[in-house]
Amino acid sequence: MTENGMMSRAKVLTIDTINPTVKKVEYAVRGPIVQRAVELERELSQGMKKPFAEVIKANIGDAHAMGQQPITFFRQDAKSRACRILQSCGGHSMGLYECDVFLDVARYIERRDGGVPCDPDDIYLTTGASDGIVTMLKLLVCGEGASRTGVMISIPQYPLYSAALAELGAVQINYYLNEEKCWSLDIPELQRALDEARQYCNPRALCIINPGNPTGQVQSRKCIEDVIQFAAKERLFLMADEVYQDNVYADGCQFHSFKKVLFEMGPEYSDTVELASFHSTSKCYMGECGFRGGYMELINMDDEVKAQLTKLVSVRLCPPVPGQALMDLVVNPPQPGEPSYDNFIKERTATLSALAEKAKLTEQVLNTVQGISCNPVQGAMYSFPRITIPEKAVKEATEKGQQPDMFYCMKMLEETGICLVPGSGFGQKDGTYHFRMTILPPSDKLKILLDKVKEFHQKFTQQYS
């Protein structure tokens, strides 16, 4: 202790005096399981004995970390594309302007949507889709008590949504996807969730993830139309998270953008329903997570709100230019006749058909296991199988203060080296348990992985019966 007592001075910022909304944020995808996986890797590399030779991370959607080959074109042409972008902006360097990218994104959307027009002024470039989603949610939050903004999100969800809503102090309104019908979205369930929520908050927005993470479902055109009708009827701002728009595998499934369906429904809808749609360089066949590129398209957004958004975005300066350059490459891939074209198509096709195969393989193998049932992985990059956890295991987990599926996944990690995310991190119906597993590992590794999961599940079930 010194004269003026400073050695014992309490910290300004402690867990008791931190922003309480920050404390409320939960984020399971990188929780204790991942921490333990990293520890196990270190222990293995130090020569410690384990019942497995390597840790297999099937927890996150980082395609390249899982061994997927980057598309050559993105790496190869990124530099010259960046130059083209910069030229179009009149600068000599990766400065603060974006320019051409907007036009390229708009043209991409028009091609994707069979000619439905896209105004470049409706495009905002973002630091990954995450940034766009959080920013839109931020704009929507207001009111206090029973008039506090509520936002509808699917359960299971991608936990960015719950985290952002917690941080913004908005009310999270859960609607449950129908696991029995291949994780489809049912309008009556939307209505139930909305009606209940109206009693304690002001529901203003409806978030949809299509194709779904973690659930892998791809919505039908009919379903999207119903959702749009519902949003119109109930005056909800629609947020369509379409980062997996190029990741559709199942026969008979097809990606329909909310924008396209909205416009096909005629001016009664296309002139009124407010829609934000998000895309990213992280997913699809690109898998370039690290660049943090993305855009959002804003339909029927009020002009004054747009001006506020522009202001808000300017404060943080621009999204990273390399990410913009990559986004530009993604929306503006090589065209027939261009030197990179053949190789691009070859690589793209190979990547997507490998994913399609692995999606099928995952579903098939998991469904051979008693106590695991897995919906078809129609799109995105994950399976989200339901698992039966014996009563005794549920009890042991509860005594440890753990979620039963966390207990299950942690045990799997310790015994097999496989790293999955427990379903409780995404939300699930009470009393049901799941895990999320990416379909990204190379086929041979995926097969081994699935066999190990099978073996583990059988052993686990036996142990706790």
Ligand X SMILES: Cc1ncc(COP(=O)(O)O)c(C=O)c1O
269 interface partner picked from ligand X, a second copy, none, CB below 5 to 8 A per type: a second copy
Provide, rounded to whole angstroms, the least separation between the CB of residue 107 and ligand X.
Answer: 21
Residue 91 sits in the site that holds a second copy (CB under 8 A):
yes
| Nearest to a second copy of 443, 463 (CB atom) | 443
Tokens of 427: 């939300």
Q: How far is the CB of 421 from ligand X (least distance, A)?
A: 12
Please give the single-letter amino acid code of residue 237.
F
Closest CA to 154 of 177, 130, 180: 177
Query: Nearer Cβ to a second copy, position 67 or 114?
Result: 67
Mask of contacts with a second copy, 92-111, x by CB under 8 A? Answer: xxxxxx--------------
Cα–Cα distance for residue pair 87/263, rounded to 1 Å: 34
Q: How far is the CB of 241 from a second copy (least distance, A)?
A: 14
What region, left, alpha or beta, does residue 67 occupy, with left being phi > 0 and alpha being psi -120 to 50 degrees?
A: left
By beta-carbon proximity to a second copy, the closer residue of 2 and 199 is 2
CB nearer a second copy, residue 1 or residue 48 = 1
Strands (E), 164-201: 171-176
The token duo for 11 is: 């910290």
Partner whose footprint covers residue 243, from a second copy, ligand X, none (CB < 5 to 8 Å by kind): ligand X
**Least Å distance between CB 396 and a second copy?**
26
* Long-range contacts (CB closer than 8 Å, 24 or more residues apart) made by 21-26: 21/166, 21/167, 21/168, 21/169, 22/167, 24/166, 24/167, 25/163, 25/166, 25/167, 26/159, 26/162, 26/163, 26/166, 26/425
CA torsion sign, 234 to 239 to 241 to 245? positive
CB of 6 to ligand X, least distance (A): 29
Who contacts 380 (Cβ-Cβ below 8 Å, separation ≥6)? 211, 212, 213, 214, 215, 216, 244, 247, 283
Q: Check binding of 40 to a second copy (CB under 8 A).
A: no
Spatial separation of the C-alpha atoms in residues 377 and 381, rounded to whole Å:
8
Indicate which of a second copy, ligand X, none lies near residue 294 (CB less than 5 to 8 Å, by partner kind). Answer: ligand X
Cα–Cα distance list, 72 to 335, 338, 343, 377 (Å): 15, 14, 8, 27
The nearer residue to ligand X, 269 or 278, going by C-beta atoms, is 278
Among 300, 343, 402, 432, which residue interacts with a second copy (rule: CB under 8 A)?
300
Q: Smaller CB distance to ligand X: residue 100 or 241?
A: 241
User: Which residues contact ligand X by CB under 6 A?
Assistant: 61, 128-130, 158, 160, 209, 213, 241, 243, 280, 282, 289, 294, 317
Among 6-14, 107-115, 214-222, 369-377, which window interacts with a second copy (CB under 8 A)? Answer: 6-14
C-alpha dist (Å) from residue 241 to 133, 213, 367, 419: 8, 10, 29, 26
Q: For a second copy, give the closer residue by CB, 150 or 385.
A: 150
Amino acid at 58: A
By CB under 8 A, tell whether 32 contacts a second copy: no
Contact pick of 212, 322, 376, 441 for a second copy (by CB under 8 A): 322
On whether the CB atoms of residues 57 and 419 are closer than 8 A, the answer is: yes
Binding characters for a second copy, 136-175, by CB under 8 A (x = yes): --xxxxx----------------xx--xx--x--------
Report 331-350 residues binding a second copy (CB under 8 A): none
Q: Quick one: what does residue 25 bind among a second copy, ligand X, none, with the CB cut-off 5 to 8 Å set by partner type?
A: a second copy
CA atoms within 13 A on the CB side of 76: 11
Query: Is residue 131 involved in binding a second copy (CB under 8 A)?
Result: yes
The answer to whether residue 124 forms part of the interface with a second copy (CB under 8 A) is no
